[in-house]
A and B are shown apart, each in its own frame.
Chain A
Amino acid sequence: MSEKSAEQVLADSEYKYGFVTDVEADTIPMGLNEDIIRMLSEKKGEPEWMLEWRLKAYRRWLKMKEPRWANLDFPPIDFQALRYYSAPKKRAEAEIDPELQKTFERLGIPLHERNRLEGVAVDAVFDSVSVATTHKEMLKEKGVIFCSFSEAIREHPDLVKKYMGTVVPYTDNFYAALNAAVFSDGSFCYIPKGVRCPIELSTYFRINAMETGQFERTLIVAEDDSYVSYLEGCTAPLRDRNQLHAAVVELIAMDNAQIKYATVQNWYAGDKEGKGGIYNFVTKRGHCRGRHSKISWTQVEAGSAITWKYPGCVLEGDHSVGEFYSVALTNNKMQADTGTKMIHIGNHTRSTIVSKGISAGESNNTYRSLLQILPDAKHCRNHTQCDSMLIGPLCKANTFPNIEAENGSAVLEHEATTSRISEEQLFYLKCRGIKEEDAVSLVVNGFCKEVLKQLPLEFAVEAIKLLEMKLDKSVG
């Protein structure tokens, strides 16, 4: 009997987006200082106010210390050995480099209007810049603004000035400050009052260049009574050096507005020995400013050598709702320290947290959360469900739920489980004709069901495929 354990099946899975696109890049020198930031800003043709903001952030960043409280282990990052801007050259107006088109097609994201994806508008970001945004005209008719962040700075400066940095100020943390200083592009969405965005909006992030960090910024503003569903996907080539990705995402929901934000993160995770892979240090926060507003985060974190992110919600508007649904899969030597923050400020605010951690190989998977009920926040509720699944004997799962309830009227529920894919489970499924890889993915998909069902259908299919790919040795 040749027996293959579940963890071997996982370890054998290949990363299929690891190819490199050969495009001539327009870059700036390595390193980080005020001149570099000026150069970057100039390359992007930014107005003075933007440069000033970047410099303020940079000066602040210089005084900050890299946080080391997370349950992560990695060598110091040399921020002078990174390149902060790399953009594909030769981009005539309204013309997409055929190499880039091919790249995105290989990633399943056709950019050409002819065969673009129906029902979803895509902003395609390649290294430091957005190369194309689809369905823009149709959205414009509805009054929805969906464009690259650079374009928003040019075309909608008042909106950017009004909202940028109001949810995640550059003073927030080390990586948020770094991002504010050097962010190169990202997506901007504005949904006007009363508009239900007719299609899904999405951004696809692709890191290509070597030794280049990706620092994108996304800002979504949903005015009163509006609705938007936004998806984010990401991949990177196989490189044996670590690459840094430090993004900031800000969401703002006004009265009765709803924002659904979903991420399927499939950055390159490094090889089996833990060499290479992306450091994913991301600050994502939503601000429920309006009454009865709602922000939902759904994330499927399946890539990255290191993941450090806590998408959270500041629930300020009375009766506002924050949700966090997460699947974090770690394998081989991957490390993840992820979870959420729910800050209850308004009365009758509610939050739901569903976290599913899957650890395999020698990976380390940590769930960390902060649930805060401020003294004046009356009748708040939270339900937390936090489950861990272990595959194999060498992986670790940790849970650090922090609860600070300062108002006695809050109702908080916390449930947590830890389970293991057992030999008995696999044997049972195999006895029903199901082969090992399929058995593992069936068990894992079942475990993640509550989270996956939050995703829009096409995206859920993608996410399931991604989890299966991570589980299936034969794909790649």
Chain B
Amino acid sequence: MSAKTADFEIRNLCASVEGKPILQGVSLKINKGENHALMGPNGSGKSTLANVIMGHPAYEVTGGDILFHGQNIVELEPEERARLGLFLAFQYPVAIPGVTVAKFLKTAVDAVRGVQNVKPAEFMKELRENSEYLEVDKAFLNRFMNDGFSGGEKKRMEILQMLMLKPGIAIMDETDSGLDIDALKIVSKGVNRLVGPAFGLLVITHYERILNYIKPDHLHILMQGRVVLSGGPELVKELEQKGYDWVREKFGEEVLVV
């Protein structure tokens, strides 16, 4: 990794929930143009990391920094982080009854880009294109946000939001969980539409299956609140073959020291 400051960097991040430490010194660097994957067993702190990056109020940051374009964002409100170009695709998207998908997306796009920069006609055109790309039916845009959506529909909606908001760095929190192969393909297709020099990605997952569609350049393994191993795509295969026990065996002692 080069010496220059990364576009997005987590330094020795510690966080707890209700006084219980979960993250115990996480460090990560993500540059735009890179695809990172973060794997780890249940309870290792993966979702906590995603929530802390966005500033979830239930988590307390007890140490460390999160730098986005060199700016420490730890003290910022979630909406300020979003406006800087951070995006989280939720593991469990929340329903907003009475608010249509179209209204929700317009509100979000206005908020992130600034309402004066959003021309309604262009917004509609973009929304149409992106919906078609994700094979989202037009009628869907008039349904209430995530209200009565199937798991797959919710995840597709997260990706539609991501395409509309065009973040600089996106985190996908187990977007692949519970998706059938067709849904997974569409979701991946959506993400790959953004992949490029202006987009950095962190895919959090249990399963390497999604990594067949969204090819990571970097893989990190999180255990007991720390990144215990980072490597290239070859690591994905190794993990697939050997399982987590291999990692635990290899790094268990170090983890215990913490």
Contacts and interface: CB of A to CB of B under 8 A. Distances in A.
Physical interaction between A and B:
yes
Interface of A: 1-3, 422-425, 427-436, 438, 442-443, 445-450
A425 B58 contact: no
B203 to A, nearest CB: 17
Contacts of A448: 98
Contact of B55 (A1, A429, A438): A1
A442 B112 CA distance: 16
B107 interface: yes
A427 B104 CA distance: 14
A429 B165 CA distance: 13
Nearest to A448: B98
Interface string B61-77: 10000000000000111
A434 B98 contact: no
- Interface of A, secondary structure class, is helix
A422 B57 CA distance: 12
Contact of A446 (B58, B82, B96): B96
B112 A445 contact: no
A427 B97 CA distance: 16
Nearest to A427: B56
Interface stretch (B87-95, B227-235, B247-255): B87-95
B75 A1 contact: yes
Contacts of A2: 77
Nearest to A417: B97
Contact of A429 (B57, B83, B96): B96
Nearest to A449: B98
Interface string B28-61: 0000000000000000000000000011111001
B187 to A, nearest CB: 18
Contacts of A435: 77, 79, 111
Interface string B205-226: 0000000000000000000000
12 contacts: A1-B75, A1-B77, A3-B57, A423-B57, A431-B87, A431-B90, A432-B108, A436-B79, A442-B104, A442-B107, A446-B99, A449-B98
B111 A434 contact: yes
Nearest to A443: B96
A433 B83 contact: yes
A442 B58 contact: no
A40 B90 CA distance: 66
B210 to A, nearest CB: 21
The 8 closest A-B pairs by CB, nearest first: A446-B98, A433-B111, A446-B99, A433-B112, A430-B78, A432-B108, A449-B98, A433-B82
A431 B144 CA distance: 18
A396 B165 CA distance: 38
Chain B interface size range:
20 to 34
Contacts of A423: 57-58
Interface of B: 54-58, 61, 75-79, 81-83, 87-88, 90, 93-94, 96-99, 104, 107-108, 111-112, 144-145, 161, 165
Given A429-B96, A431-B79, A434-B79, 6 more contacts: A422-B94, A431-B82, A432-B79, A433-B165, A443-B99, A449-B98
B94 A424 contact: yes
A319 to B, nearest CB: 31
A433 B57 contact: no
B63 to A, nearest CB: 14
A445 to B, nearest CB: 7
Contact of B112 (A1, A432, A438, A450): A432
Contacts of B145: 446
A431 B54 contact: yes
Interface centre among B78, B88, B108 (most CB of A within 10 A): B78
A430 B98 contact: no
Nearest to A432: B108
A247 B102 CA distance: 41
Contacts of A445: 98-99
A433 B108 contact: yes
A371 B210 CA distance: 55
Given A428-B94, A433-B111, A1 B82 contact: no
Nearest to B111: A433
A446 B100 CA distance: 8
Contact of B165 (A422, A432, A436): A432
Contacts of A429: 96
A140 to B, nearest CB: 41
A476 to B, nearest CB: 22
Nearest to A389: B97
A448 B98 CA distance: 7
Contacts of B107: 432, 434, 438, 442
Contacts of A443: 96, 99
Contacts of B108: 432-434
A430 B83 CA distance: 10
B17 to A, nearest CB: 12
